[in-house]
Copies of this chain bind each other. A is one copy, B any other.
Amino acid sequence: MKSYLILVILLIIKASTIFAADYSYSGSTGPAFWGNINETCIKGENQSPIDIPYDEFIKFNKPDNVEFYNVNNVEIENKGHSIQISKNLNAKLKIGDNEYNLLQFHFHTPSEHRINGNYHDVEAHFVFVDKEGKLSVIGVFYDVSDQQSKFFDPIVSNIPNKNEKKSIEFIELSSVLEDINLMNTTYNYFGSLTTPPCTEGVIWWVAHPVQPIGKDQYLKLRDTMGFNSRYVQVRKGFVNNNL
């Protein structure tokens, strides 16, 4: 009985450790301390996001194939730090012989990547995975505009309460690919997840043409998520050594 009690106490301590390890964007669980959650966040050498020097940004690259289809009955989740859409998605990337399927997409305010020190109001991350679990992410920038976004409309109209989920009937996902010029102008680099566990080996595609988002759409998204942008990481091998 005594050993059973000790086991229960140990489990409670373990559970509280896991709970404490939840990450945030300020204070003692903020980005500067993510190394306490996963070492890769502090020791990794190819961490994301980055400040992309313009000279590098204009050297475009693209996947071997990319397809985005409109989707029905997807799930939207308010994860506190982020708004994430998943399930019933239909988009794919081909990089060499590997096919990657769209697992989920979510948003960051302000943008995580910067271009020559400049940022944008929102960055969408479309997270793809292949059969072996390798990841590839397309980043798309949005700036506040007089023009409403058809893509964001069903998303900001259906934001659930914190830690809750909802269903969205229809998202015009195909428009995203058209908007970013069919990925003819994306900056391609090897990086990481921008949140713990900060896993490396992620093939990044940061799309160049910045898209419009309506003022009220932007403010609703921003004020739901708050500041959820990791600061840019120091990288080796860039032409501009200051970045």
Closest to A110 in B: B110
Name the B residues within 8 Å of A28 (CB-CB).
234, 241-242
Q: Return chain B residues, CB-CB under 8 Å to A241.
A: 27-28
Q: Which residues of B contact A215 (CB under 8 A)?
A: 144-146, 215
Decide if A27 touches B223 in the complex (CB within 8 Å): no
Given contacts A143-B219, A215-B144, contact A27 B114 (CB under 8 A): no
Q: Are B232 and A118 in contact (CB under 8 A)?
A: no
Asked if residues B227 and A118 are in contact (CB atoms below 8 Å), the reply is: yes
Q: How far is the CB of A1 from chain B (nearest CB, A)?
A: 35
A114 touches B51 (CB 8 A): no
Bound CA–CA A29/B119 (angstroms): 18
- The one of B25, B219, B227, B234 that contacts A144, using a Cβ cutoff of 8 Å: B219
The distance from the CB of A119 to the nearest CB of chain B, in whole angstroms, is: 4
Contact A117 B26 (CB under 8 A): yes
**Interface size (A, Cβ < 8 Å)?**
36
User: 0/1 per residue, A116-145, Cβ < 8 Å to B?
Assistant: 111101000000000000000000000111
Specify the main secondary structure of chain A where it touches its partner. loop
For A227, the chain B residues whose CB sits under 8 A away are: 110, 114, 117-119
> A40-68 toward B: CB 8 Å interface, digit per residue (1/0)?
00000000000100000000000000000
Candidates B25, B110, B231; contact of A31 at CB < 8 Å? B231
Shortest Cβ gap from A5 to chain B (Å)? 28
Chain B nearest CB from A236 CB (Å) reads 10
Q: A27-B241, A121-B121 are in contact. List 18 more A-B contacts (CB 8 A).
A: A26-B231, A26-B232, A26-B243, A27-B51, A27-B232, A27-B234, A28-B242, A30-B234, A31-B231, A32-B231, A110-B110, A114-B226, A116-B226, A118-B222, A119-B222, A144-B144, A144-B215, A144-B219
